[in-house]
Amino acid sequence: MSSGVDSAVSAALYAHKYKNVHGIYMANWSQTATCTERDWNDVQQLCHDLKISCERVNFERDYWQTVFQPMIDKYARGLTPNPDTGCNKHVKFGKLANYLESKYHSKRWWLVTGHYARIMKHNPSGETHLLRGHSSKKDQSYYLSSIPPSIMPKVLLPIGHYIKPEIRELGKQFGLHVASKPDSQGLCFVSPDQNNFRDFLNNYLEPNPGDIVSQDGKVWGHHQGLWHATIGQRSTVSMPQGDPNFKGTWYVSAKDPVKNQLIIVRGWDHPSLFKDQANLYELDWLYPQEKVLAIPPQELQFQFHSLGKRYNIKSIDLTNDKLSVNIHPKARAMAPGQIGVIYRGNQVLASGIIM
């Protein structure tokens, strides 16, 4: 339970049907952080109102070692990591699942969460599949694309069958005090007095100045670290607008970690911003690898943003634990470090980190 309406309604749906429901709150950041204590107080109130017990567990060290520090290291190398998928893989459906198994190993147990996705049994095959949530605006299957497939039969995702307004209405019907609580935005431990996430990263990364260059190698400005820019975003460099060769809006098209350079190009639709191939490593197969590779490519789709565009797959090839995915049409601003996910319709099949 995170203290939000989604996990609260998930708990209420089962608490009103079963007697042995137990709330659990993960404190994955500083145990004295304002957001940690505020959310824990809300969880305790929710559990009191639902007449269920609640427990607070501390996975701070696990979060730091398997999610946060790897995220910092990747930003330092110019990558664009996704800590949400890492947290789900290593902590929520990793460490927490292991904790529950050790605690209830002699009993039957299930983990209920408030994610907008669905885990359902495919009756013809008996397989357990991870599917997109019913709500296209809130679907979170992308963030669950790296969880261990072995945990799926023990996971229940009730709100994946609803849309957000219905969940808020259910929250009101259950009398939950968080029914109208705003959705969380970003990471709770990023102080609200910091202007953006890069300000937060500056607390953990030493400045690493480098050049901002055009494709011909000409230096136009300087940056304080590759993490200060995102591929596809507008460049902060002021180009000579009086010169027709440079007039217009310039965008970051690539990062060169070897030379510590940001490469910029002119125009939102510059060809170098578009790619028709993604190479994935550190693969996670939620559906058996041999079955994924046997599916005709035209039945598959590729996605590299949560709620982002779905791209048709022309071909896939697995070589030396690297998955090469050719897509159509070309995708703009696909960045190394992002998570690429393979779908078949609504079903999540596999994911990996974009090289």
Enumerate the active-site residues. Answer: 87, 188
Residues near 331 by beta carbon (within 8 Å), at least 6 away in sequence: 274, 275, 276, 278, 304, 309, 311
Provide φ and ψ at 6, rounded to 5°. Answer: -65, -50
| Rg, the chain, Cα only | 22
Give first-to-last CA distance, the chain, whole Å. 34
- Of the candidates 223, 222, 218, the one whose C-alpha atom is nearest the C-alpha of residue 245 is 218
Helices assigned H by DSSP within 163-246: 164-173, 197-201
Q: How many CB atoms lie within 10 A of CB 259?
A: 12
234: which DSSP letter? B
Residues 286, 330, 337, CA angle at the centre, nearest 5°?
50
**Angle of helix 5-15 versus helix 164-173 axis, rounded to 10:** 60
Cα 126 to chain center, whole Å?
28
Residues near 75 by beta carbon (within 8 Å), at least 6 away in sequence: 81, 201, 205, 226, 227
Instruction: Report residue 91 as tokens.
Output: 């902590």
Distance CA(291)–CA(179), nearest Å, equals 42
Helices assigned H by DSSP within the chain: 5-15, 34-50, 60-63, 69-76, 83-87, 96-103, 164-173, 197-201, 289-294
Amino acid at 181: K
- Of the candidates 199, 97, 210, the one whose C-alpha atom is nearest the C-alpha of residue 154 is 97
